[in-house]
Structure 1
Amino acid sequence: MAAAGGTRGARRLAERLRAEKILSGRSQITPRSPTVRDLRSWPLPGEAGLILINKPSGLPTHGGPGVERSVVSLLPALSRSLFGGGAEPLRICHRLDKDSSGALLLAQSAGSADRVQRALREHRMSRVYWALCVGAPTPPEGILDIPLIEKETPGPQKHFKMALCPRFRVSSDGSVQRFRVSRSAHEAVTQYRTLEKSSGVSLLELRPLTGVKHQLRSHMALALNCPILGDHKYSHWGRLAPQKLPAPVLRSLGIPSPQSRSLLLHLHAAQITLQLSPRTPPLVLRCAPPKHFLSALRRLKFSPQSLQDIPLPPDEGSS
């Protein structure tokens, strides 16, 4: 019996090593660079000068060191595609993190961009995100009002992450004490609501009331202990390592543990509500989630009601 058990253990080990080798080989393949076709775009009817795009996950909004492709680098070609040769490059009206997908507004002119940015400053623009999170938040809905500060993590692989900088903390005797928030911290407020739970994962609606770097990712992982599926940065605090998923989640997704390192971030900017003038009704702009998000919903067996609630694009046309 011991020999048979040892044989089965050796077989499982060999299978795991083969899977890791295959996955490591796949990870060496350079992904296809995004093109203008990947920026599904819709000029807003009745609002000359504004364009909505559905940004794919993994494409940075702005360029930087080592960044070959970004939304900014694709704007001249997108402008020519929409408005013909000689058109000025489009302008980005607000930011969206590289690993997030979804709604991003562009403008044809500095004046149009300024209208959107003014609405953002005056709280006449709001955003709704959809997130698949590992685990379930307690309570199932609420408001997180916890400042964030960027910190260098301890350990041999030093790197920077956003960290919680709470105003109130519970002391060892159970009393609640108020602390002075660091001047380097940023006010961060997130409203969240659990839409459904299935297979150890929660589908959440997130409404950021402030715009801090990695606000939703850090609030979910560090404040609610429900990291977003595919968030390899905030699933561990002191080290750089792929997200480790519970066995039931892996089974539902139909992937072995090593393959979880290739999961994309399941955070999607689904809706923008924009009131360009206090005297005009707001515009409600929606972008459908990407294929990897919808595939995860199906594999995790979320109900048809959840799928019906997924916002659809305002138009089926694309650039």
Structure 2
Amino acid sequence: MGGCQVLGQAWGGWRRGLGIRATPTAAGFGTKARHQLQRRGASKPSDPPGDQPFPGLLRPETFSREELVDVLRAAVVDLKGPLVTLNKPQGLPVTGKPGELTLLSVLPELSRSLGLGEQELQVVRASGKEASGLVLLSSCPRTASRLQKFFTHSQRARRPTATYCAVTDGIPVTSEGKIQAALKLEHIDGVNLVVPVQSPSRKDIMEGVKRTLSHFRVVATGSGCALVQLQPLTGLHPAREQHFPPVHTKAQVSLKIVTQSCQLQVFPSQLQAHMALQLCPVLGDHTYSARVGAVLGQRFLLPVEGTRPQRQVLDEALLGRLCLTPSQAARLPLHLHLHCLHLPGARPKDPPIELLAPLPSYFSRTLQCLGLHYQ
């Protein structure tokens, strides 16, 4: 297979191999995509829910290099031309420290396993470590460069190119909207955590505070939980001053940007942090869910300074619906999945193309247990 074919030559194969449809409205939450999720999410598990609390869940940290390559090869959704797409398992880091077993560290072996010879694969787009879902790879630098330019242009035009699916503990107050917040990374107790910043000063900006934005839409609700589609956005004009509204009326938190030099970025764990600010942490979020407290059924944000990551605590009713014991709930995987990526068409005037990754089995089981069906 040629290493650097023209990008347009691969699109026909992508459409056939993935059942991909071209759509002129790539930025929206289309009903077709929702129906696609419904069909996958509504399937029944092969065993009773109590017998397999997390069916299909892998533990990448326990794999050898050879085992990880085998898992990734089995996770390939399609291989056409210079492009490779795979459905990454939850818990696998894309990058890491030297010597750590990551997706990036085994790309040479994966390339050879896929019959690409010595062609080097590079990561174009990928879900984070704790999330599952799409990873887009390319063996052609020119193709990768073209895709990166497309993503950059889409960011500047405020057109989202990635859609995540999440199950949240709690239901957002509004069925759709935007979450905007100033965030920074802090090293706390040996862990890098995303921390919201109110009215950041110039010093905060110099120390890495960034403004972030995500679109969300509630797709289905049930049992006090929600199936939510999330689209992290970048590309607010860097020269515009942004004043962010309160994140949540009950939280009484107003995260403002008062400088022109703070550019919008997608943070690691941005979506988890954003949903915690909405008082609806992602199911299986054992880091940021601790920031949400409750008294007599009323939720509120706890001060970040006095809150440390801990295992997510679910009420007895929710544990019962999920058929989980408290010890099993402590091992609940993060229910955040990069379900869809939008790529450019073969020619400039062609509509964008959607790449889809099936939901993990444990994710589908959770939807069934919670009765999350589409309206």
Q: Same fold (TM over 0.5)?
A: yes
Q: What is the CA–CA distance in structure 1 between the aligned matches of 2:352 and 2:175, rounded to whole Å?
A: 29
Q: Of the candidates 138, 141, 155, which is equivalent to residue 110 of structure 1?
A: 141
Corresponding residue for residue 317 of structure 1:
none
Cα 1:35–1:159 shift into 2, 3 Å: closer
Query: TM-score, normalization: structure 2?
Result: 0.63
2:165/2:337 contact within 8 Å kept: yes
SS state of the match for residue 259, structure 1?
A: helix
Corresponding residue for residue 56 of structure 1:
89
CA shift digits 1:246-265 (9 cap, x unpaired): 11110011111122111110
1:281 partner amino acid: P
1:55/1:102 contact within 8 Å kept: yes
Q: CA RMSD in A?
A: 2.3
2:126/2:134 contact within 8 Å kept: no
1:125/1:275 contact within 8 Å kept: no
Q: Of the candidates 194, 199, 221, which is equivalent to residue 197 of structure 1?
A: 221
SS state of the match for residue 143, structure 1?
A: strand
SS state of the match for residue 269, structure 1?
A: strand
Corresponding residue for residue 90 of structure 1:
121
Cα 1:292–1:110 shift into 2, 3 Å: same
Q: What is the CA–CA distance in structure 2 between the aligned matches of 1:230 and 1:297, rounded to whole Å?
A: 14
Q: What is the CA–CA distance in structure 2 between the aligned matches of 1:72 and 1:109, rounded to whole Å?
A: 16
Q: What is the CA–CA distance in structure 2 between the aligned matches of 1:216 and 1:270, rounded to whole Å?
A: 14
Corresponding residue for residue 226 of structure 1:
280
> How far 1:89 sits from its partner (Å)?
2.8
> How far 1:281 sits from its partner (Å)?
2.4
The answer to whether the aligner puts 1:260 opposite 2:329 as a matched pair is yes
> How far 1:87 sits from its partner (Å)?
2.9
Stretches of structure 2 lacking an aligned partner (at least 5 in a row): 1-60, 235-265, 292-306
Query: TM-score, normalization: structure 1?
Result: 0.74
SS state of the match for residue 290, structure 2?
A: coil
SS state of the match for residue 117, structure 1?
A: helix
SS state of the match for residue 271, structure 2?
A: helix
1:125/1:272 contact within 8 Å kept: no
Cα 1:301–1:35 shift into 2, 3 Å: same
Q: What is the CA–CA distance in structure 2 between the aligned matches of 1:42 and 1:302, rounded to whole Å?
A: 26
Q: What is the CA–CA distance in structure 1 between the aligned matches of 2:330 and 2:135, rounded to whole Å?
A: 27
1:114 partner amino acid: S
Give 1:1-319 correspondences, 5 Å limit.
31-33=62-64, 35-39=68-72, 40-43=75-78, 45=80, 48-64=81-97, 67=100, 69-84=101-116, 86-123=117-154, 126-153=161-188, 157=189, 159-167=191-199, 182-183=204-205, 184-210=208-234, 211-221=266-276, 223-237=277-291, 238-275=307-344, 278-303=348-373, 305=374
- Indicate the structure (1 or 2) with the bigger Cα radius of gyration: 1
Cα 1:159–1:77 shift into 2, 3 Å: closer
CA shift digits 1:161-208 (9 cap, x unpaired): 1122245xxxxxxxxxxx657312112110001111111211000011
1:77 partner amino acid: E
1:90/1:109 contact within 8 Å kept: yes
1:133/1:201 contact within 8 Å kept: yes
1:232/1:242 contact within 8 Å kept: yes
1:145/1:189 contact within 8 Å kept: yes
1:100 partner amino acid: A
> How far 1:148 sits from its partner (Å)?
1.1
> How far 1:107 sits from its partner (Å)?
0.4
> How far 1:138 sits from its partner (Å)?
1.2
CA shift digits 1:51-79 (9 cap, x unpaired): 11111101111131562x21112212221
2:160/2:231 contact within 8 Å kept: no
SS state of the match for residue 265, structure 1?
A: coil
Stretches of structure 1 lacking an aligned partner (at least 5 in a row): 1-29, 168-178, 307-319
Q: What is the CA–CA distance in structure 1 between the aligned matches of 2:110 and 2:63, rounded to whole Å?
A: 18
SS state of the match for residue 289, structure 2?
A: coil
Count of residue pairs the alignment pairs up: 257
Sequence identity, in percent? Answer: 32
2:183/2:195 contact within 8 Å kept: yes
Flag the structure with more relative contact order, 1 or 2, with Cα contacts below 8 A and sequence separation at least 6.
2
1:246 partner amino acid: D
